[in-house]
């Protein structure tokens, strides 16, 4: 079970790639609706932690609970069903399907969970409007700017009204102005839908958008002390 009040809880996660330790006893807790920034040096284990929390990879040992369910004890099929129903994802780049239009990209996860095309596309268009990129709805990802593409990716992550959004350096490939705008839109939209966010970032300024900061060092996650 997760401790009272927390939605997602990881305990003593360990993961090694061959002889390289990536996680070395990491604990992590997330409350419903909370925005948590995950920071730390390159190679410290941030992406590995996020992938374990989201059930994309399994740790070598340790547990991840989501509500009263243990993610680390589920079958692959159960985990993918949970991911599709309850989680949204935004990565640094390369996540949009190049053959589909931006609108179809946003609609794709909705279609996969059974929504009818018309309904999925109407809802997707609303999300593109909210992220201020409805003008690129009919374009393919290769025909839009980096910032527009990331906003489309945020729209796609949020369109399924997930309870948790996992974002791994969603603005890492953008200039600071575009990055800031994407960050504002991501956190505003998440707060509006009460989605919790786990946000991996190198940007110290992201503190302004988060409720809490966690720093990962050498595969161990610690609460940032003195953070406002
Ligand atoms: N697929 C993999 N195969 C082998 N080693 C890996 C793999 N993924 C990560 N690692 C190693 O595990 C450690 C943690 O990597 P991870 O990607 O979690 O770091 P990170 O904090 O996200 O870094 P960055 O800020 O550069 O994205 C590193 O030493 C990395 O080299
Ligand atoms: Mg990483």
pLDDT tens-digit readout, 40-65: 999 999 999 999 999 999 999 999 99
Grade residue 204 by pLDDT with cuts at 50, 70 and 90.
Answer: confident
Looking at all shown ligands, the one closest to residue 48's CA atom is 1
Q: Tell me which residue of 78, 28, 26, 30 sits closest to 55, measured CA to CA.
A: 78
- Per-residue pLDDT for 159 more than 60? yes
| Ligand 1 near 47 CB (within 6 A) | yes
Distance CA(60)–CA(225), nearest Å, equals 29
| Ligand 1 near 186 CB (within 6 A) | no
Structure tokens at 19: 């002889």
Residue with tokens 């946003």: 106
Residue 39: helix, strand or coil by DSSP? strand
7 CA → ligand 2 middle, Å: 23
pLDDT, tens digit, 9 for 90 and up, residues 10-31: 999 999 999 999 999 999 999 9
Contacts for 125 with CB less than 8 Å, ≥ 6 apart: 103, 134, 137
In the prediction, which pLDDT does 226 show? Answer: 59
pLDDT, tens digit, 9 for 90 and up, residues 61-94: 999 999 999 999 999 999 999 999 999 999 988 7
In the prediction, which pLDDT does 182 show? Answer: 87
Residue nearest to atom 26 of ligand 1 (CA): 42
Angle at 210 between CA 195 and CA 2, to 5 degrees: 55
Residue with tokens 């809802």: 123
Q: CATH classification of 6-223, choosing from 3.40.50.720, 3.40.190.10, 3.40.50.300, 3.60.110.10?
A: 3.40.50.300
196 CA → ligand 2 middle, Å: 20
224 CA → ligand 1 middle, Å: 21
């Amino acid at each position: 079970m997760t401790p009272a009040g927390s939605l997602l809880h990881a305990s003593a996660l360990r993961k090694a790639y061959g002889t390289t330790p990536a996680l070395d006893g990491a604990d992590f807790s997330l409350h419903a609706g909370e925005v948590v920034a995950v920071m730390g040096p390159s190679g410290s284990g941030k992406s590995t932690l996020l992938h374990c929390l989201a059930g994309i990879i399994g740790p070598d040992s340790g547990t991840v609970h989501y509500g009263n369910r243990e993610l680390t004890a589920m079958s692959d099929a159960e985990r993918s069903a949970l991911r599709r129903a309850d989680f949204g994802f935004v990565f640094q780049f390369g996540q949009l399907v190049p053959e589909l239009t931006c609108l179809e990209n946003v609609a794709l996860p909705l279609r996969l969970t059974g929504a009818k095309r018309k309904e999925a596309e109407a809802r997707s268009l609303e999300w593109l409007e909210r992220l201020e990129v409805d003008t690129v709805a009919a374009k393919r990802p290769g025909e839009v700017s980096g910032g527009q593409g990331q906003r489309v990716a945020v729209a796609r992550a949020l369109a399924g009204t997930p309870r948790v959004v996992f974002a791994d350096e969603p603005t890492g490939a953008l200039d600071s102005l575009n990055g800031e705008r994407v960050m504002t839109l991501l956190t505003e939209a998440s707060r509006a839908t009460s989605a919790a966010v786990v946000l991996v970032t190198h940007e110290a300024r992201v503190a302004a958008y988060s409720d809490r900061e966690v720093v990962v060092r050498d595969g161990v996650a610690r609460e940032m002390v003195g953070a406002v």
